[in-house]
Structure 1
């Protein structure tokens, strides 16, 4: 597939386990010229087209000028419900349940040969995003390591992996919070998960991401949420270098807040709806509010990977 004669679209894949700060990272990267962040493309078909949830610009996706142009460029118009359902079903073939296989063997999810049409759709979609936005790099924060294996099969993609990690105890605490999802049907809350399961997923997703990127020989850079907040300009410069575009200064005001212009992210944390002056502050509430039993459980399950990423016991 790497010899496919179709034009190449460069894609920066933001990987990592949920609640690790990928939406914030993408919002920062979207401020860099030549980069365009479009959220979690994996969920475009279900949340964007079938459920018509809001783009991060605040407009329902089927009415968003940006996405209307992208879909017209890629497919000649907005796919109907049946086609969106077929594409969502194909996307679901690359599921988290395949992670054990991804960690233990070189083969990807089964029966991918029959999905050549789906890979062709993704090729046209990413190319259309680049064409409509005028950006040189499309930033996709889908995060799933299993979905990354799908992108490896898409002809005409130049993949780079930016892997964000966060202290697993902070992640586990975040998954326990009661959070309203302003874009979910019927005003639902964001999903919650027990710290033990969060710790297992944190370990599996991060290990799988490393293994897939290394096995495929992809350009790869790992960075920490804590470092992104402490030094946003320096961290973004490192990711920008991975992307292969010129470095640029982030639009920070005198108080260190980021001046965010509206973005067009498909899905992600509700922070994607924020624009204007956005404070960049470390969310470390877990250090004082997390129950001790959850802290010890999460810490025990995530050793030694947690230590390798620089998160010690103190």
Structure 2
């Protein structure tokens, strides 16, 4: 898995706290020539290969022609279960609970030798995705600020950060909902979280993403889910400019529907399984459905970052 001087692979990293619209944003970006959206690559080893969950094309990942070709290009074969567990364990070294230690490391810090094999494996994987897809830029919606630090240490990756944010009250309400996950084992629902906990995560993840990107001197753009829905063409053009490929107009129908082709996203919101005409509407159910005490708690915990991102009290 070692290469002496890997060619550069451009990666657009979609960052942000969960339920902020990254899966939708990635599906839209995948329509842009030169970009390929492949979901939350951080979960490729466990959810994708060990659990053999479905690719967004609808095929179990081990049988998906795209991912089989990618893995053979990267490693000569699909890694066996022991290798996958080792890759997943290395990936878990870049989880949220390790974020404080990662943030305290000095800029330019490199990983210990014991993880260099992992970073080289990541480099090979992203390079293979670009080659097999024929894309100029790989779009990864893993979101974790901690995983971003892993990508920064992978040789040959040119990383840029597109940071999506959403009103924290809408995010907190979404985390309270009972949502089916059609891809989860044993028919499990998507995880739920108390609004107070969600508000803390929203603040910590977004601040950590800003700090890591700025400290590393990465090209960085923050954009809002609400603007993506209200002005999809202008918002996507800004993100596309950041990625470095020519901007292309988004196909939006007369009724505000977005025309999405089949993708090969590893993991993410169940919306990734949808293709064809997808309604592009603002999900603002929280404005009428959220309990006042939860709205007030979320607003208090996320202030003033919420205000800095343009979300007012009303």
Query: Partners in 2 of 1:108 and 1:157 — Cα distance?
Result: 15
Query: Partners in 2 of 1:239 and 1:76 — Cα distance?
Result: 34
Aligned pairs for 1:46-61 within 5 A = 46-61=46-61
Provide the aligned C-alpha RMSD in A.
1.4
Q: Tell me, yes or no, if the aligned pair for 2:14 and 2:139 is still in contact at 8 Å.
A: yes
Aligned pairs for 1:260-271 within 5 A = 260-271=260-271
| Alignment match, 2:183 | 183
| Alignment match, 2:239 | 239
Gap runs ≥5 in structure 2: none
Deviation at 1:83, TM superposition (A): 0.7
Aligned pairs for 1:108-119 within 5 A = 112-119=112-119
| Alignment match, 1:223 | 223
| Alignment match, 2:163 | 163
Q: Secondary structure at the match of 1:93?
A: helix
Over 3 Å counting, the alpha-carbon distance change for 1:109 and 1:17 in structure 2 is: farther
Deviation at 1:252, TM superposition (A): 2.0
Query: Partners in 2 of 1:203 and 1:231 — Cα distance?
Result: 25
Deviation at 1:22, TM superposition (A): 0.2
Deviation at 1:105, TM superposition (A): 4.9
Q: Secondary structure at the match of 1:55?
A: coil
Q: Tell me, yes or no, if the aligned pair for 2:9 and 2:126 is still in contact at 8 Å.
A: yes
Gap runs ≥5 in structure 1: none
| Alignment match, 2:80 | 80
Aligned pairs for 1:104-143 within 5 A = 104-106=104-106, 112-143=112-143
Over 3 Å counting, the alpha-carbon distance change for 1:313 and 1:108 in structure 2 is: farther
Greater alpha carbon shift after TM alignment, 4-13 vs 131-140 = 4-13
| Alignment match, 2:200 | 200
CA deviation map 1:151-173 (0-9, x unaligned): 01000001000000000000000
Q: Tell me, yes or no, if the aligned pair for 2:181 and 2:188 is still in contact at 8 Å.
A: yes
Q: Secondary structure at the match of 1:251?
A: coil
Query: Partners in 1 of 2:108 and 2:82 — Cα distance?
Result: 27
Q: Does 1:209 align with 2:209?
A: yes
Q: Does 1:258 align with 2:246?
A: no
| Alignment match, 1:297 | 297
Query: Partners in 2 of 1:107 and 1:48 — Cα distance?
Result: 32
Query: Partners in 2 of 1:246 and 1:260 — Cα distance?
Result: 19
Query: Partners in 1 of 2:107 and 2:221 — Cα distance?
Result: 23
Query: Partners in 1 of 2:89 and 2:242 — Cα distance?
Result: 32
Deviation at 1:37, TM superposition (A): 0.2
TM-score relative to the length of structure 1: 0.97
Deviation at 1:95, TM superposition (A): 1.0
| Alignment match, 1:30 | 30
CA deviation map 1:18-46 (0-9, x unaligned): 00000000000000000000000000000
Q: Secondary structure at the match of 1:282?
A: coil
Over 3 Å counting, the alpha-carbon distance change for 1:104 and 1:121 in structure 2 is: closer
| Alignment match, 1:273 | 273
Deviation at 1:104, TM superposition (A): 4.7
Query: Partners in 2 of 1:203 and 1:98 — Cα distance?
Result: 16
Q: Secondary structure at the match of 1:147?
A: helix
Q: Secondary structure at the match of 2:94?
A: coil
TM-score relative to the length of structure 2: 0.97
Q: Tell me, yes or no, if the aligned pair for 1:195 and 1:297 is still in contact at 8 Å.
A: yes
Q: Secondary structure at the match of 2:297?
A: helix
Q: Secondary structure at the match of 1:59?
A: coil
Query: Partners in 1 of 2:41 and 2:252 — Cα distance?
Result: 28
CA deviation map 1:132-154 (0-9, x unaligned): 00000000000000000000100
Q: Tell me, yes or no, if the aligned pair for 1:101 and 1:108 is still in contact at 8 Å.
A: no
